[in-house]
Structure formats: C-alpha cells, structure tokens
Structure 1
C-alpha cells in the first residue's frame, strides 16, 4: 500500500497593501431605495478558495441609490430687486425706420336700455313724502284767449240752435237751455270715458302697463304738488311718439312712448300733458269745441249744399251760374250786415286758434321744464323731429324723389310749434346753473 502525501493546503491571497474598503451604504436621505436582489458571491465548485471580500465596487444588480442632496455651506443673503426702470414713453418725433404701433380702435359702449337705471335720463320713482299745493288748477292767459276766440263760433252755434228751437214751438227754449247746460258734460267722468274711447281711440291700461305708468306719474304729480288720483291714465295703441290731455281728467300716452322711452323721458311727456291740465288748456279747448260744434255742423251742411247747387247751375248754362252767384252773394251780404261782420271773423278764427294752440304747447313745455324735466323733454323733441324727418323722406320717395314743400297756409294752421322753436324756449332751463 502506497502512502499518499497529504494534500497541500489552499493558498490564501496575500494581504493587500491597502485594506479593503467597506461597502457604500445609502445615506438616510435615500432610505427608501430598495435593491432588487442580493449580490451573489460566486463559489468555484472545484476550488475550495473562500469567497473574495467585496471591494469598493458597487454590486452589479439593483437600482442606483439616490444621490444625497447638496446642502449649502453658508446661507446666502436674499437678493432684493433694484429700483424698477420707468417705462419708455414714445416721443413726439418718430424714429427713422420704425413704424409706431397703431392702437386698436376702442369698442363702442353699448347704450343702456330704456329701463336700465344707468340710462342718463332715468329718474328715481321711490315713494316719498308728497306735498300737495293748495291751488290744483288755474286758468292762464292761453286758456282765456282760447275761450275768447271760440266766442264767434259760440254765437253762430247759438243762432243755429235758436233756429232749430223754432220747430218745437213754445218748448223751444228748453232746447236752448239744454244745449247751454250740456257744456258741463266736459267734466263728467262717464262722458269723458266715452269721449276718450270713441273719439280719441284710447283704452284702459293693462295691469302690466299700469305698473309701468303709475310710478312715473306719481313722481310727476309729486314734483308738481298735484293730486295724481284726480286724473286717469289711458293708452293709445300707436307706434308713434305722442300723448294727449283731454277733457278735465284724461292723460293718454301711446304704446310707443310707454315701452320705448326711459322713465325720465316718459315723465317729461306726462309732465307736459299735466301742464295742459294745470293751465286750463285741455278743458277750455274741449269746451270751446263743444259749443262750436252746432255752428261747424251747419257750416259743413251749407258748404255741401252750395257745392251741389253750383254743379246743378252749371247744367243750365252761364245764366244759372250768374243767378247762383247773385243769390249766394246777397245772402252773405245780408248775413254780414245783420251780424256785424261776424261771419268774416269766423273765416279767420282757424288761424288765430292755431296760434293760441302753439302758445299753449310752449306753456306746457315750460311747465315740464320747471319740474326738472328739461333735458328729458329736449331728448323727446329730438326723437319727434327724427320721426317727422322720416315721414318727410317717405313722402318724398313716394313722389319720385321730389321734396314736397310745406305751404305757408299749413304752417299757419299747425297746432304745434316747430322743433327749433320749442328747443329755443327750453334753452334757459338747459343751461347749467352757477
């Protein structure tokens, strides 16, 4: 049996000159990093050498640990901003070769709606203390002049009614007395309502329309010191800007004025109509018209009969025309001599009544302006003027582009002053008070 020498012991590595570095462990700031797998130390199956101690190299597997944050060594003082440089404004002289920027056009501001409180002609209509003046109505010089101008018509109507009373014999004087007393119906409320409904084509306002009109009317009457419940508000179904004061207690406005005007301008319109009532213009005009109605009716009948007789006389040659002319002339001469020229005055009355009516409109404008509605009334007059110009343009277009000039007679018979005259009389109230 052969003796085998013992195996030689394994060789250990020599001690390195530098000691092995310890493994790098993650800092506390990266304690959340996890390795996916532990490092595997390879072991040689055939070599009994012990595993080599890890050196300073990082294990091959696993995610890289996060780097620790760098901390400042010394606190730096905060940096404060320096003084802001003022913006450079463009000079008056343009720079050569530089086109100055053109600012965009400013967008137009939308005009406030009529019911918007931001409208310049909006007025407050809150309830407040109302001071009622002792004198609710008066009769100014315009109303008195209107009654005096209706006097010839009244006398002619009295003559016509007296001639008709002859048909009733001894009871004819009752007809004359009844006609004289009928003037009181002007102030009778049911008669006024019938007049407003059938003659003026007005109607009662709806609850919504009354809610729109009554606060404005209350403000107008409060400024005037007038009891507003004395009058009745009516509405006219019209698309034109208009209003009316009739009889003794009727104030009517159009649907256009009620819906399209701000409450300040609507108040100016209603204050104008209240001026007609307070000054006595409304009742005096209606009273004069009522007592002139029989004479006007007789005049229209006479004119119609005269026209028919003239056409008949033309059928009997020139002799018939001459005979008719002599007959009518003699009748006119007898009438003038017996009535002291009264029929001639009647021919001039329409022009005088129109002049007094224009004066009444200026008085009503003054009343509205004195209540503080002068700017609003001027705006309403401007809108009326625009409507008149539109109507004139429509008439011109209907005549093939030829403008239709207003005749002097029509200007003399106009019941309202022109726009420029009314605006001129409002100037003292439109000027700022120092």
Structure 2
C-alpha cells in the first residue's frame, strides 16, 4: 500500500493529469510480472545476494544430487538454476521461482547431507515461499526507496541543526529539529505501517518460521527426514548450547534448531 502511494505521488509530480497517474500506477502494478522471467530473476538474484555461476567442478558435484532430489519429488530438475553463494557459512536458500543457491562450505558436506539441504530448499519452491518473497521484495522497492531518501534528508537536517547549535544559533537549531520532525511525520503518513512494525515484525517472523517447518516436512516427505536431522544435529552441536533471548526468538526468521529436530522426529 505504501509503495502504491509513493508511485502515485511520483506520477503526480511527473504529470497532473489523472489518467497519466493511473497509467503509471497500473504499469507499476503489472511490472511485478517481469520477476517471473528467468533472465530477470537471475539478474535480481545477483543483486539481492552475492552469488555466482558454479564452476564445472562444483556443478559436477551438486547437479547429480539436485537431480536425485528432484527425482524423489517427481519434478523436473531443469526448471531450476543452481548457484553458489560467496559465503563461508554453511547455508543454502531458494529465491524466486527457479533459483537454488548453496554456499561454498555446503559443497563440502557428505552427499546425502547436501541432498537433504537441497530437498529443504525445493520444499520452499514447491510451497511458493520463494516466489512470494521475491514478489514482495519487488513491490516494496518504492516504499523502501522513499524511507531511505527521507531518512537521509533527516540526517542531513539534524547535522545542520547540530552545527547551528554549536555556533550558538538556537533558532537555527530549533528550525532544523522541527524540519526533521516534519519529515518524520511525513514518512509515517507515507508509510503508516511503520507504526505497526513492533506488532507486525513478530508476526512476519512467525510466518517465516512456519515456512521453514513446512520446507522441513516436505524434505522429510521425499525421504530425507533422517538426513536432515543429522545435518541439524551438527548445527545444534556447533551452537554450543547458546540460548537465544525471548526477543531474538520472536524476531528470528528461522526456528530454533532443536525445535526443527523435534518436529522432524515427531513426523510433523
């Protein structure tokens, strides 16, 4: 909704003609469809994540495992594109409708463990989580850009106000603070959801944790449940029993590793 307002305001600045505004807004709404194009998705994936095309050696290792996972799921492996993320962490993720990425460290896992992780990512694709996330990211861009611009303007104004205060100009400092507050009010008027973020953030995080549970359950349904438990058990050992605070647990996009293991063992 906030992005809709931003696009409409920009269109209004370009032209005061009502039909032009609606055409611009309509084109923006329809533009989400380009994220379904393979070339566009690949380009966005490169921008959103530090990814690269696998080397011949890396592809020779991961492609047969990916094909085995897709065979177990009964889907065409060629529908998806494999990438390597430039990260030293042990991780993998699904993006858009076709992107499956693993980190360089994940390539060192035993074959069956790597298959289990790939099965989890396929679960995200089959449930539509990754496609919805990319589409949401696309439609949030205008609002995020507006928030960034207003935030930068507020910082500049506050720096100027601070300079006035140091040189003894109370009126200039007060004017700067009032202008910053005006910008803040404008930002909230533009994006009223900001006021609800303390409530929305835990709900959004909870929905993403549910998505992780569903992806785990999908991997288990394909026959990778015990292997995924083994992988998660290794992650749990690496955590060294560190307990997360209640706030961290509420705002985390990933459920606790121990909870994932318990659900997999319980067949949920």
Return the match for 1:365 from 216, 221, 230.
216
Structure 1, residues 336-359: CA drift from partner, whole Å, max 9, x if none?
6x7895442245433332221111
Tell me, yes or no, if the aligned pair for 2:236 and 2:258 is still in contact at 8 Å: no
Structure 1, residues 62-118: CA drift from partner, whole Å, max 9, x if none?
xxxxxxxxxxxxxxxxxxxxxxxxxxxxxxxxxxxxxxxxxxxxxxxxxxxxxxxxx
2:263 is the counterpart of 1:263: no
Return the match for 2:6 from 144, 154, 160.
160
Unaligned regions of 5+ residues in structure 2, if any? none
Indicate the structure with greater helix content: 2
> How far did 1:245 drift?
0.3
> How far did 1:287 drift?
0.7
Return the match for 2:264 from 426, 430, 434.
426
Structure 1, residues 278-302: CA drift from partner, whole Å, max 9, x if none?
0010010111111011111211221
Within 5 Å, which residues of 2 pair with 1:22-421? 155-169=1-15, 170=17, 171-258=20-107, 260-317=108-165, 342-346=193-197, 348-389=199-240, 408-421=246-259
Q: Relative to 1, partners in 2 of residues 1:203 and 1:342: Cα closer, same or farther, differing over 3 Å?
A: closer
Tell me, yes or no, if the aligned pair for 2:96 and 2:131 is still in contact at 8 Å: yes
Counterpart-to-counterpart distance in 1, 2:118 and 2:191: 43
Structure 1, residues 343-381: CA drift from partner, whole Å, max 9, x if none?
422454333322211111111111111211111101111
> How far did 1:313 drift?
2.4
Counterpart-to-counterpart distance in 1, 2:72 and 2:225: 14
Counterpart-to-counterpart distance in 1, 2:52 and 2:183: 46
Unaligned regions of 5+ residues in structure 1, if any? 1-154, 393-404
> How far did 1:239 drift?
3.3
Counterpart-to-counterpart distance in 2, 1:333 and 1:193: 38
Larger Rg: 1
TM (norm. structure 2) is: 0.84
Cα RMSD, aligned residues only:
3.0
Counterpart-to-counterpart distance in 2, 1:261 and 1:340: 44
Tell me, yes or no, if the aligned pair for 2:100 and 2:121 is still in contact at 8 Å: yes
Q: Relative to 1, partners in 2 of residues 1:187 and 1:388: Cα closer, same or farther, differing over 3 Å?
A: farther
SS at the partner of 1:248? coil
Counterpart-to-counterpart distance in 1, 2:251 and 2:240: 19
Question: Would you say how many aligned residue pairs link Structure 1 and Structure 2?
Answer: 261
